Chains A and B, each alone.
Chain A
Amino acid sequence: MAVEKTAPAIELINVSRRFLSPTGKSLTAIRDFTMTVERGEFVAVVGPTGCGKSTTLNLVTGLASPSAGEVRVMGAPVKGIDPRIGFVFQTDALFPWRTVIENVMAGPLFRGKPKAQAQASARDWLARVGLARFEQHYPHQLSGGMRKRVALAQTFINGPEILLMDEPFSALDVQTRVLMHEELLRLWSEAKASVVFVTHDLEEAIALADKVYVLTAGPATVKSVYTIDLPRPRVVADIRYEQRFIDYSRTIWADLKEEVETSYARAAA
């Protein structure tokens, strides 16, 4: 277990991933991709739309396997779905026929916990995301922001050591999104998980992360890595007006812009 203790949470070493397009052609989504996420680190991945950002997450969950290179989680190669991983989806992935509390209980019940224990723990998590009063509601009765908070509780209840997030807040309005950022940072600082947060929103990435990976236009590879040295705890609503934030923003955007333009030009061609 000596290896397990010291190894980074996630390592992608020279990973490539090819997949078959619906028309039967082989496409390369990511190429020579190398990334390391330390324990407890918050990493954001930004890149142009459709460059293969989500593929990196699927490789870590084991839902997809690499065509070349190696993916390691806690020092060991990925084999199937790792129970230490939690995933928050871009789209609404709650079960609409279950009440809020039943949705949050799903993880522990799937993993064979007794019902009473799952319920108690679900109550606790709902209270932490401020939805204690809504446990008997169905997802369609909640607002988009509330549904996301249920999704967070549903993921955090399993106590994930690694948290993967695929543009989780992109469907929310700007004000709700800022609230969700605060919520996420609070939960993250309590849970001490390692996070990979995929987004196309650069400001979101800088406000949340310790490190920002900028990807090239597809096939994606790492273009540059920026360490965001802003003090924590951060107040997301205010941080964007700080000079250092603006400097980071300007520098990284200059970098990202080229890729966005390349990607845009390709789509137009």
Chain B
Amino acid sequence: MTDATVNIPTTAFRPGTSDAEIEAAAAKAAVHRRHTVTFWRLGILLVFLGLWEIAGRMAWIDPFFYAMPSTIAARLYEWITEGTSEGPLWYHLYVTMEESVLGFVTGSVAGIIIGVALGRNRMAADIFSIYIKVINSIPRVVLAPIFIMILGLGLASKVALAFVMVFFVVFHNAFQGVREADRAMIANARILGASDWQLTRSVIVPSAMSWIFASLHVSFGFAIIGAIVGEFVGSRYGIGLLINIAKGSFDAAGMYAAIVIVMVVALGAEYLMTMVESRLAKWRPQPLHETQ
């Protein structure tokens, strides 16, 4: 069976199928695709804002209620350069951020610790699950007046509200993540010699981390909601207060301007979070088709 050599004719490729050409074509297609996405993203935004502006100017909608992109931009400019009627914009933004970040950090740390603890302890989980369900069924924002009554108009009541908004989301995901930890992996760690604490720290928590991160993404938004609702109900500073005052003086542009500020902040936070996550999760396989 040594005479089984097959003569393969060399270079029978069709034009345009060489390695370099295929790679170049793929790179070109990728660039093209990115441009198309950016074009449509910008285009849709511009059309939306343009239609809004025109509809306002042509009085199809009443600018008194709906404002117009131009008046909103003017109000933002005024707030940034001259400050609001309640003092400098930056201070209000700082107050809201301080409340949100404090509530977010304390809420997620507590959520992770208690979630992992209950996830590791079946009995405790069974006992406490009913209370957690009951408390979880309360719409969180109704707690705002209570917190303000107890903790006053300052920082503490907003942080408390942001905390309860964040805590349950993170708690649930941490708990679930711990429960989903792979059995074989746990047995492996045990046989390799891990103590209970080592098992929790170096196997259970890391394997729950992708669940926890999924919740952290949404929960910073929740923390902002908590802070703003708290400011709504009663406060001396903050973006929520600005919205409340704008509402009181029928200043539509002011309300939308405050919303834009919150949007920008929330997007920035989301971006930061994604960056941190992709840093921490570099061990995870990339999805097969990377889309943005």
Contacts and interface: CB of A to CB of B under 8 A. Distances in A.
Contacts of B182: 91, 93
A95 interface: yes
Contacts of B206: 95, 97
Contact of A106 (B187, B189, B195, B284): B189
Contacts of A86: 191
A93 B184 contact: yes
A81 B189 contact: no
Contacts of A106: 189, 192, 194, 202
Contacts of A96: 283-284
Contact of A81 (B191, B207, B283, B285): B191
A95 B209 contact: no
Contacts of A87: 187-188, 191
Interface residues of B, number: 23
Contact of B198 (A85, A95, A110): A110
Given A89-B188, A93-B187, A95-B206, A110 B285 contact: no
A111 interface: yes
A83 interface: yes
Contacts of A16: none
Contacts of B193: 83, 107, 110-111, 158
Contacts of B34: none
Query: Secondary structure at chain A's binding surface: helix, strand, loop or mixed?
Result: loop
A94 B187 CA distance: 11
Contacts of A99: 283
Contacts of A200: none
A154 B283 contact: no
A110 B284 contact: no
Contacts of B33: none
A181 interface: no
Interface string A86-127: 110111111111110000001100110000000000000000
A93 B283 contact: no
Contacts of B195: 110
A77 to B, nearest CB: 18
B190 interface: yes
B185 interface: yes
Interface in A49-88: 61, 63, 81, 83, 85-87
Contacts of B245: none
Contacts of B273: none
Nearest to B198: A110
Nearest to B203: A95
Contact of A110 (B184, B192, B209, B283): B192
A250 interface: no
B185 A110 contact: no
Given A97-B283, A110-B198, A81 B190 contact: yes
B187 A63 contact: yes
A140 interface: yes
Contacts of A63: 187, 190-191
Given A106-B189, A106-B192, A140 B184 contact: no
A91 B284 contact: no
A83 B195 CA distance: 12
Interface string B159-193: 00000000000000000000000101101111111
Nearest to A108: B193
Contacts of A141: 285
B183 to A, nearest CB: 9
Nearest to B190: A81
B194 A110 contact: yes
Given A91-B184, A97-B209, A140 B191 contact: no
Nearest to A86: B191
A85 B191 contact: yes
A64 B195 CA distance: 17
6 contacts: A61-B191, A81-B191, A95-B189, A97-B281, A106-B192, A110-B198
Interface of A: 61, 63, 81, 83, 85-87, 89-99, 106-107, 110-111, 138-141, 154-155, 158
The 8 closest A-B pairs by CB, nearest first: A93-B188, A110-B193, A107-B192, A140-B285, A111-B193, A93-B184, A138-B283, A97-B283
Interface of B: 182, 184-185, 187-195, 198, 202-203, 206-207, 209, 281-285
Given A87-B191, A89-B187, A93-B185, 19 more contacts: A61-B191, A91-B182, A91-B184, A93-B184, A94-B188, A95-B185, A95-B202, A97-B209, A97-B284, A106-B192, A106-B194, A107-B192, A107-B193, A110-B189, A110-B195, A111-B192, A140-B284, A158-B192, A158-B193
